[in-house]
Each structure stands twice: as structure tokens, then as C-alpha cells.
Amino acid sequence: MRAKNKLGLVFFPAFDWAISPTHPEREERLLYTRDQLEEEGIEDIEGINFFNPDIASDKDINRVHFCNPDARTLLTESHYIAAGGVMKAFDLVFEGVTDKSFALVRPPGHHAQRVVYGDRGFCIVNTEAVGLEYARQKYGDMRVAIVDTDCHHGDGTQDIYWNDPDTLFISFHQDGSTLYPGTGFADELGGPGAYGYNINIPLPPNTGDKGFQYVMEHTVLPILAEYKPDLIINSAGQDNHYTDPLTNMNFSAQGYAALNQKLNPDIAVLEGGYSIQGALPYVNTGIVLAMAGLDYSSVYEPDYHLGKWKQSERVTSLVEEIASAALLLWRKRKELAVRKFGGQKSVKRERRVYYDTAGIMESQIQEFKVCRNCPGVNTIKSQNDQGVSIMCITIPRQACPVCQREGSWLFAEAQKSDYNQIYLQDLSKDQYYQGR
């Protein structure tokens, strides 16, 4: 058997990292998947190959995050390898070794935001963002769509790309009013430099295959066709599955495979999914076969039977309404941006972020400059309940000369303040500075 699409599988189960031995986010998440892939003979299919991950550097992490006190203090070796696994997935595609790649790595990353004081939702490094920014520095600028199919809203990825018009972020997930992290509502549309390029589709509990396929066909694919990305990334969380212990959705392995076939991503990255035996081996097998362009019709969970998880008419109606509203917001984004930000010189965004594993509460004030020539320099003033106060400055990749100078000036001025740490992330020059 030969794969229609050459597919690279980057595999890393992170044997040395776990929140606890019995925590749902543990190495068995991937070990059961590996066993299933072996049982199905995936390794024997011509065109599907396994690859070892690379190891990310501090510089790779610092393109994305402001780690306090620094990356080396917060991260374990597993986090560097997981991020390096995603970097490897990008290299495989861009260097033509494979047509597509799937990074089967852990720990997950999509809850990790720009500022990092510790773990949130089992995440501390946003592996997709690290891989993407590494690729942009190595292979050049590109328009990218990240489609997050995890049941939990990808609040970290949203935060990182909040003001980046070259990164379209689409997340469809269980409604944040019913599930962690309590975000991902339709009105979270992005900053002044990228308003409308952040799209949330919060779905009601008990959404099944029918609902997810409707969203893909009637909202996600039309938006992608209009945006015309150079690259599509699937943030491939699998906790929408009907057996997942942490969520309330009714997605199946067949549904995941069909969705992946329609989305046709260049790169997929494993995120959540905590039905270690009942879901992940079958869902991952379905995704692998779909990405390789092979028949996945025989992939079923042991307890699955057609019609078992039939979606109610009420849920169907709600899904259709939500999907239609999201598409309308996308198509009205320019008009809405003028209405919201017209005439403003800067935009402030106040947030509170809880690091649930570390038990740290953070208060942030983000400020985005409204610039006609680039997305604008931005700052984060952050203080946590442990007494730490930091200042973070980002000069965007596409920064105009004025914003480049302003970012450098802000960093110099911050040295005179009483912040515990001051950071400058100059993406236009691929440089990172940390001051007292």
C-alpha cells in the first residue's frame, strides 16, 4: 500500500514529564496510539514515515513567550523536545521531505499564552506558535491559518496572535460558559491590527459528528477560501470525543478523520484528548490515514455503532445559528473594525489569567498601538499575586521604522521603573532582550 500524500509522523511521548502518575495528561496518551498504529500496520505503508523530534532552544521559545523569570527556569527537557517536535514537522514540509506532517507530541500547548508564569490547562509552551515562528524566521513570512479543533478554547494561541493579520485563528470548541478556560466567545475578534482574524465558534454541549461537519463545511472552509492561507495548521485536540472524561461532546473517530480530510491541513499538532484507551488510538489512526490520503472507513472505536450518538434537533439548530453568525462576523470584519477602533491611537485590553497548576493569578494590561503602516508595537504590564511585576514589549515582524524606534524607546524607559523584569521581543530583527 502506498500513501497518496507523503506523511511524516513526529513522535514523542515525554516519558519524564507528568503532573502526577494518574493525571489524564500522561505518557500513556501516546503509547496506546503507538500500539494501535503498529497493530494497523501504519509503519509498513509506503510514504508514511516516523521521525524523531528536534530540540527547541531558548531563542525559539522567546520568539513567542515572555517566561518569568526565564524559559530555562520554567521548562523541562520534555517541553523543549515537544516544541522541537513541532519545529521538525515544519521542516519536513518546507524542505520537501514529506507533503504533510503530524506532530504526535506532548505536553500540549494551546493554553500557553504570551506571558508564562507556569502551567495552564496542562500547557506551558505553545508548541504550534513556536514551530510557526521558527518557520517564519527560517523560510520567510507566510499567511497561516490555525484551525483549533480541541474541545477547549485555544486561549493561548488566540492571545499570541491577537493582533497578527498574517495569522488567522479559528477555534471551534465547547461553549466557554460550560467548560474550561471560560473563553472563546464570538465577540473575541482580535486587536486593532487584526480585528476579525480571530474567529471563535462556541458549540453547545452534545454536539456530534453532524454539527462539527456543518461548521467545517459552512463556516471554516468558506473563510479559508477567502483568506487564502499559504499554510494550514490543525491544532488537533481530540477531547471532543464521546468518551472523553473532561468534556461533553459526541464526536467520533470517523468524524475526526472526515473533518481532517475536508480541512486538508499541511501540519497537524496533537493537543488535548484524555480518553486514553477508548478514543486516542482510533482518532489518531483516522487522522493519520486521512492526512495520508488513504481509506479510513474501517476505523471505529470498539463501542461505536451507527446512530449511538445522534445529535438532537435542538443542538443542530443551535450549531447552524452559531456557524452562520461566525461567517457573518468574518465578512463584516472591516466595517466592524472601523466602528470599534476608528480614530483611536491605542487600544487597551485588561485581563486576568489563572495558572491552575501553579496556583498563580495574573492581572494584565495589554496596550496595542494603532498604526497605519503595521500591526503596531504593543506592551503588556503584568502583575501576579506572588508579588512579581513585569513589563513586556513586542515589536511585530512587520514593524514600520516608527514602531521599531518606539519599541526600543519603551524598553529603555522601562529600565527606569521598578518592574522586577523587563522584556523586549523584537520580532522584526529576531532579537530578545531581558533587563532587570
* Residue spans of alpha helices (H) in 19-126: 28-39, 58-62, 71-74, 77-94
CA distances from 142 to 78, 322, 397 (A): 28, 30, 11
Q: Which of 79, 110, 111, 153 is catalytic?
A: 111
Binning the chain into helix, strand and coil, the percentages to the nearest 5 are 35, 25, 40
The whole-angstrom separation of Cα 82 and Cα 128 is 10
CA distances from 312 to 178, 208, 303, 325, 354 (A): 18, 9, 20, 20, 35
Q: Supply the DSSP symbol for 117.
A: S
Backbone angles phi, psi at 59, to 5 degrees: -60, -40
Beta-carbon contacts of residue 49 (< 8 Å; ≥ 6 apart): 6, 7, 8, 9, 98
* β partners of residue 340: none
Assign residue 377 a region (left: φ > 0; alpha: ψ between -120 and 50; beta: otherwise).
Answer: beta
The whole-angstrom separation of Cα 303 and Cα 150 is 22
According to DSSP, the β-strands at 2-12 and 100-105 are parallel
Q: Provide the CA 95 distance to its chain's centre, in angstroms.
A: 23
- Is 111 catalytic? The answer is yes
Cα torsion angle, 335, 336, 341, 342, sign: positive
Active site residues per annotation: 111
